[in-house]
Amino acid sequence: MELSDAIRGRRSVRRFTDMPVAKEMIEKILEVVDYCPNAGNRNSTRIVVITDRAVMDYIGKAHMQIIGNFNKGITTLPSEEDIAVSASAFHNAQAVAALFGPKNFYFSSADAYIMAQNISLAAFEQNVSTCIVGEVLNSLATGKGRELQKEMGIPEEFVPQVFITMGYCDGEYPKHPKRHYHDVIYV
């Protein structure tokens, strides 16, 4: 596939079939991480691939609650009760790549988002659909979230920066939503 076809063709997909994404496929897609530009070539992004349904659901639901509150100006953490009954920001993805970056590194977020885009394009080339789900505060800041992060082996000084959901598109592939940027200014 031509790079421009991947860039133009990729869409955010939020409805997936029940078909799992094979581990070998995820490994193939993630080969691109070794080629991502990253600040100072410090390679500080930590990657966790989640396929455990319970873990995926918990983080997706916590994310949904946290971003919902954040949009209303509420920055306190949601209760476990609210998380339990929430919809998941990951929808019915079959796998989620969670990209963590160090708290005190200015380019943590930039590094992770650049990597997320490359992962999305590499996945598209393999017919695996994705959606980049941006982090606002910290979806793993709850008591249970902190436990999960510990179980993943990601140190406390790292925070999630972005998630990439993965799966096979269910139904019609989304159409290109038109952009409405201002005209480019050439000086």
Ligand X SMILES: Cc1cc2nc3c(=O)[nH]c(=O)nc-3n(C[C@H](O)[C@H](O)[C@H](O)COP(=O)(O)O)c2cc1C
Identified binder of ligand X from the candidate list 56, 99, 115, 133, rule CB under 6 A = 133
Number of Cβ within 10 Å of residue 122's Cβ equals: 19
124 close to 116: Cβ distance less than 8 angstroms? no
Identified binder of ligand X from the candidate list 14, 111, 124, 139, rule CB under 6 A = 14
Among 20-28, 45-53, 129-137, 148-156, which window interacts with ligand X (CB under 6 A)?
Answer: 129-137
Torsion of CA 104, 107, 113, 115, to 10 degrees: -100
Nearer to ligand X, 112 or 187 (CB): 112
Choose among 59, 52, 51: nearest CA to 83. Answer: 59
**Is residue 169 a contact residue for ligand X (CB under 6 A)?**
no
Q: ∠ CA 88-134-41 to the nearest 5 degrees?
A: 135
Identified binder of ligand X from the candidate list 29, 66, 77, 131, rule CB under 6 A = 131
Nearer to ligand X, 153 or 177 (CB): 177
**Where does this chain bind ligand X (CB under 6 A)?**
11-12, 14, 89, 131-134, 174, 177
